[in-house]
Chains A and B, each alone.
Chain A
Amino acid sequence: MTPLTCYLLVAALLFAIGLAGALIRRNAILVLIGIELMLNAANLNLIAFWRYGPHPELLTGMIFAIFSIAVAAAEAAVGLALVIHIHRHTKTTYLDQINRMKG
């Protein structure tokens, strides 16, 4: 078990947990939480591969992770704004009831 493998397994598990949360939870915000966890798992993967992979002097992994963080932040903001907006309209964040996309 190389260090890289351990990190990768942790990332995988984190990703699975995040996915589970996104798929299981009823509330929209908690789904967003799950998504954030998935993103972070990906970031972890990136950094781990940068550290243990070839050419770490290129900083590819690091920069990628930084950008990922930035984008995730923006996405979280927009997503939550959307959730609040929907809540204003439908008075609920119960995802099963938000089925305007049906059909």
Chain B
Amino acid sequence: MIENLTQSFAPSASVSMAANLLWLIPALPILASGVIALLQQPRRKTSAALAIGALSLSLLLSLFAFAHVVNGWLHGIATREVVNLTWMQSGATNIDLGWILDPLSAAMILMVSFVGLLIFIYSVGYMEHDPNFTRFFCFLSLFAGAMLGVVISNSILLLFMCWEIVGLTSYLLIGFWYQKPSAAAAAKKAFLTTRVGDVFFLLGIVWLFAQSSTLLFYNHGAGSLEPLALASLLHQPAAFGLTAAGAIGLLIFAGAAGKSGQFPLHVWLPDAMEGPTPVSALIHAATMVAAGVYLIARVYPLMAAGALTGGTTTALTAVTWVGAFTAVFAALIAVAQNDIKRILAYSTISQLGYMMAGLGMGGVAVGMFHLITHAFFKALLFMGAGSVIHGSHEEQDIRKMGGLRKLMPLTFLNYAIGMLALCGFPLFFSGFWSKDGILEAAQHWSVAKAPFYMLVFGALLTAFYMTRQVSYVFFGRERGEKPAHESPRVMTVPLAILAFFAIALGAIGTPAWPWFRAFLEGRAANFDWSGFAEPGLLALMGVSTLVVFLGLGLGWALYGNQSPQPEAADVLEKAAPPVWLALRNRLYVDEFYGATVIAFYYQWARFADWLDRRIWGGAVTAVAATFSLGARLNRFLDTNVVDGGFDKGCEELATGGGLLSLVQNGRVQTYLRLLALAVVALIVLLIWSSRA
């Protein structure tokens, strides 16, 4: 179902205090980050207190803003309050910044600040033994501020700036343990891969700005996402039969694909697991990777522009196909991985594919609901994995763990809840409702049925690999070298909180009470059991339940309590070695890139180096040589001609003076002679001149 652009509520008129104070929400963590940057390393308590305090304040403000929007919703107002400022002016063009308070941004900032705060608290325990504690919180706080900035931004330029800061902090945090070469390389890879996406994003921004001559999304009718601008974009043809709107949409999606790890720009996400686990939880599960999805949700009017009712646009179709493909692709690879975090990383890529597919087929509410639920249970899973790693004395290979159910009961319980939510275990877990929303949208998609089957297959795989992981880690006998221990409360309490939400959030997305959808779209929501009575809905729920149980059962049957030895081959590996090997090697995408893009780039870099050293360097050397020659010539001239000439002249003068001084010898006869000589000369001159 395509989003119906008309809203049933009336738009809000004035700008509330919540909207005016909205800028504080990102500003406080950024400020805290700046202050922490000036602190010395040993001041751990201060840095943690600053970061957590700033984000708590942001959370309070987010709650306040969210409450304001909910209040508006309750009174039948569709909130969309913008505060715009002009940053710079260049002739007639204005460079505008601004922020927006609407249901989408309100929900997102609440989620980001809440999950972020929990992870901050978790990090206090996790990073306790790390010497660079202060630096960690500085970067983490900067990240949180930038992410919140992306969310509230009403200007595509401000969004891009915060987007880049998010990318930067991601780089800094992935490469936090930069002494490890693999971590430094992973950070570089993340940055460069997302950069590729960002180039297309920037192109989209520039085109959009040129076309609509405004950077603001919403500006009381003059924004780029408002009907006037969209109409002009639709009438502008671009290449390959696309309109400008479609082309810009595709470009922006390319940027989102980079940040959200869609195929083919997904390669950085698994390597990003080199960073500390809280980083993986916050950035690569809940927030940064969600920024791409959020971006598409934000510019959805542009993506969906020109769609006939019931139909779809090129941009959205592309989003759907890429999302669906990524979902299956990543799930397949996840089956064959042995690192606990890497499985979760591929799972994240897969779930992001789901979100994109949901956006493409079902609209903003469908995709965003899955994003919100996914944030909670994926953060829970990552933090749980961190707890497991911490408890297993920094062991990350699942084949070397086992039986942790008894040794780390709290972690197991929370992890299990997260895992079931991810698999979409029916009814009680939020993942079921959010994934079902996507499946329902896929089922009714007008273009093709294939994404639906792909997503169902993906759900099967998800259940399968998660069961595999859980049975390796928590069931069976211990295979670790040292006995594991439970983690401290500062780490398990946030787990519990997240687990609660992993269950509870399901309630706002059921067909009986589609509160989230109604909230985002500005419609009334009534609790109505007849929502379940929609044709095909119960059948779909049955199908997805069947798939989940199938996956769980299969996984249990193959892996269950068996706990094979680490060196032994996996069950599936014995069954189909080449397939297993291909999946194990991540379907060779990295190798492909290495052979093509990187190789080409390396050659180009070598050529550029040659050019630089020989041609430009040569030119510079030649110029320098010319100058040097000129200087030498100048010195030669100076010494020999100027100085020499002058010296010679003085010498001659002295000699001449010496010679002339001989005349002044004090002898009378000399003077007399000279007198007579002068007289002769004068008279000759006189006669000559008078005769001439």
Contact = CB atoms under 8 A, between A and B. Distances in A.
Contact of B666 (A19, A28, A31, A99): A99
A96 interface: yes
Interface in A1-51: 19, 22-23, 28, 31
B668 interface: yes
A102 B666 contact: yes
B676 A23 contact: yes
Contacts of B668: 28, 31, 95, 98, 101
A95 B667 contact: yes
A99 B672 contact: no
A101 B669 contact: no
Interface string B653-681: 00000000100111111001100100000
Contacts of A102: 664-666
A74 to B, nearest CB: 20
Interface in A64-103: 95-96, 98-103
A31 B664 contact: no
B673 A98 contact: no
Interface residues of B, number: 10
B126 to A, nearest CB: 101
A102 B669 CA distance: 13
A50 to B, nearest CB: 23
B666 A98 contact: yes
Given A19-B676, A23-B676, A31 B669 contact: yes
Contacts of A95: 667-669
Contacts of A101: 664, 666-668
A95 B669 CA distance: 7
Contacts of B661: 103
A23 B669 CA distance: 6
Contact of A103 (B666, B667, B672, B673): B666
Contacts of A19: 676
Interface residues of A, number: 13
A99 B665 contact: yes
Contacts of B664: 101-103
A95 to B, nearest CB: 5
B666 A100 contact: yes
Contacts of B673: 23
A1 B664 CA distance: 44
Nearest to A96: B667
B480 to A, nearest CB: 112
Contacts of A23: 669, 672-673, 676
A82 B669 CA distance: 16
A33 to B, nearest CB: 14
A100 B672 CA distance: 16
Contacts of A99: 665-667
Contacts of B676: 19, 23
A99 B665 CA distance: 6
B672 A98 contact: no
A13 to B, nearest CB: 15
Contacts of A98: 666-668
A96 B669 CA distance: 8
Interface in B625-679: 661, 664-669, 672-673, 676
A31 B673 CA distance: 12
Interface string B143-184: 000000000000000000000000000000000000000000
A44 to B, nearest CB: 19
Nearest to B668: A95
A37 to B, nearest CB: 14
A102 B676 CA distance: 20
A36 to B, nearest CB: 14
A76 B496 CA distance: 142
A81 B183 CA distance: 117
Contacts of B665: 99, 102
Nearest to A35: B672
Interface string B235-252: 000000000000000000
17 contacts: A23-B669, A23-B672, A23-B676, A28-B668, A31-B672, A95-B667, A95-B668, A96-B667, A98-B667, A101-B664, A101-B666, A101-B667, A102-B665, A102-B666, A103-B661, A103-B664, A103-B666
The 6 A-B residue pairs with the shortest CB-CB distance, nearest first, are A99-B666, A102-B666, A101-B666, A23-B673, A99-B667, A95-B669
Given A19-B676, A23-B672, A101-B664, 11 more contacts: A22-B669, A23-B669, A96-B669, A98-B668, A99-B665, A99-B667, A102-B664, A102-B665, A102-B666, A103-B661, A103-B664
